[in-house]
Every structure is written in C-alpha cells, then in structure tokens.
Amino acid sequence: MPPGKAALKKGKNMNAKYRLVPTRFGPETGFEVKPVPPAPFRARQENELERLKARLLAERLAVLCNPQSGSQLRRAANEAAALAWVTRYPLLVFPALFEEKAEAALLRAERQEQVRQRSRELLAV
C-alpha cells in the first residue's frame, strides 16, 4: 500500500475511536508568594561566628606563652573565619579550621623566632 493511503487509513481509524473527555475546572485559586530575604539569618550567623571566633581566640591567647605570637594567632583566626564562612555550616567548621590555622601559626612563629635568634648570634660574632 502506498504511504499516502496508509496515512489516510490510519487517520480514519483514529477518528473512529475519538472520544471527548469531559473536563471540569475548579474555581481559580490565587495566592501571593512572599520570599523571605536570607539576609537576617546570614547576619545572625555572622554575629555568632564573630562571637565564636572571639571566644576561641581569647582562650588561645590566654594560654599563649609568647605575647608576640598574638598577631599571628589573630591572622589565623581571621583566615579560618573567612574559610568557614564560605562553607554551608560555618559554625561547625570554624573550630577545627581555627585549631589547624592556630597550630600552623604558632609553629611558624616559633621558626621565625629561631631564625631571629640565629641571626643575632651570627651578627654578634
């Protein structure tokens, strides 16, 4: 059978079985979407992160033997807070990041002090 006749025959069969489906629509429902701005929640989190940073930094500075390392500890706290802030849960991530950064900062300060001491000895000779 030629392709054109098959299409006509197919169309006739489909039309023979064609039924209207009754449709019913309910009354139109309207609602207004008011998105909640994320700023207040994020601002509250930022305040809590700053308080946590200040508390952990104060604890760490209280047991610090060398007061000259305080600036490096503050820098480590700021770096840890910046890294934690870009994560999904900054308040959970910050303490661990701060510990890592603080240990690295104290080791760096100790190495710098050793280099200064050696330099003084070399210059004294």
Tens place of pLDDT for every residue, the chain, 125 residues? 555 555 555 555 556 677 788 888 888 877 788 876 655 667 788 899 999 999 999 999 998 877 778 889 999 999 999 999 999 899 999 999 999 999 999 999 999 999 999 999 888 87
Could you tell me the sign of the dihedral formed by the alpha carbons of 41, 43, 89, 38, in that order?
positive
Dist CA 125 CA 121 (whole Å): 7
Instruction: Say if residues 61 and 69 touch (Cβ distance below 8 Å).
Output: no
pTM above 0.75, yes or no: no
Q: E strands, 1-89, where?
A: none
Structure tokens at 7: 């299409």
Q: How far apart are CA 31 and CA 7, in angstroms?
A: 47
Per DSSP, the three-state class of 47 is helix
